[in-house]
Structure 1
């Protein structure tokens, strides 16, 4: 699942692939915003992304991407 996070006053966004479901990511964002704490998400390689909730501009959760194998077009 592709996740894009916009951080206030930062020109670039954070983009990474996560093995978490969209429901898990949405719950983590909601909890971080309601508690005023930090947003913690894990990427597919096991690294942790931590963003202070007050710095969040937006969180874009993409659809799960199915990767095609081979050279043929379908």
Structure 2
């Protein structure tokens, strides 16, 4: 699942590919936004960990996984 995280006062968003389902990700984000967790902590499919302070979250966009295109056909 593709996750885009907007951080306040940052010019670019953080984009990562997570192996978690949409429901699991929504629960983690809800904990961070409710104040029970001081950090939004996510791990991508390559094992890299992303930590964002909960009070700096601008938005979190949960999208569909990106499909890799193979070949030289028309898009």
Is TM (by shorter chain) over 0.5?
yes
Shorter-chain-normalised TM-score: which range?
0.7 to 0.9
Give the RMSD, CA atoms, in angstroms: 1.7
1:26 and 2:26 correspond = yes
SS of residue matched to 2:55? helix
SS of residue matched to 1:33? helix
Q: 4+ residue stretches of structure 1 with deviation over 4 A?
A: 68-73
CA distance in 2, matches of 1:36, 1:42: 16
Count of aligned pairs between the two proteins: 74
Q: Structure 2 stretches of 5 or more lacking a match? A: none
CA distance in 2, matches of 1:61, 1:11: 19
- For normalisation by structure 2, the TM-score amounts to 0.84
Which residue is equivalent to 2:60? 59
Q: Structure 1 stretches of 5 or more lacking a match? A: none
**1:1-74 correspondence runs (5 A):** 1-34=1-34, 35=36, 37-70=38-71
